[in-house]
Structure 1
Amino acid sequence: MKTILLFITLIFSAMAVSSCTNDESDTEFDILTPEEEQQTALKTEQDNVN
């Protein structure tokens, strides 16, 4: 009985690990330079004031 539960646990663990992969080739994060970040912050502030 313990062996069967162990195999079931291993199968579900393998399924969980294999489903968490990121197969996309491009990154989801945009790397901003400090200047771009400051310009974005200024635009956001101006939008909030208006």
Structure 2
Amino acid sequence: MKTILLLITLIFSALAVSSCTNDEGETEFEFLTPEEEQKAEQETN
């Protein structure tokens, strides 16, 4: 019984991890120029 619950838990955790990936093809980091950083700071303030 414990092994069945363990397998079910592993399956659900694998599904949760795989559903959280970024499949949009965008870069992971957004590179900003200093001007863009200043504009972003002014918009948040």
TM-score of the superposed pair, with normalisation by structure 1? 0.56
C-alpha RMSD over aligned residues: 2.5
In the TM superposition, what whole-angstrom CA distance separates every residue of 1:5-38 from its partner, at most 9, and x where no partner exists?
111111111111111111111237542222x133
Query: Larger Cα Rg: Structure 1 or Structure 2?
Result: 1
The verdict on how the C-alpha distance between 1:17 and 1:30 changes in structure 2, with shifts beyond 3 A counting, is closer
Q: Which residue of the partner structure matches residue 15 of structure 2? A: 15
Q: Which runs of 5+ in 1 are unaligned?
A: 46-50
Give me the identity figure in percent.
80
Rounded Cα–Cα distance in structure 2 between residues aligned with 1:29 and 1:16: 23
TM-score of the superposed pair, with normalisation by structure 2? 0.60
Letter in 1 for 2:5: L
How many residues are aligned here?
41
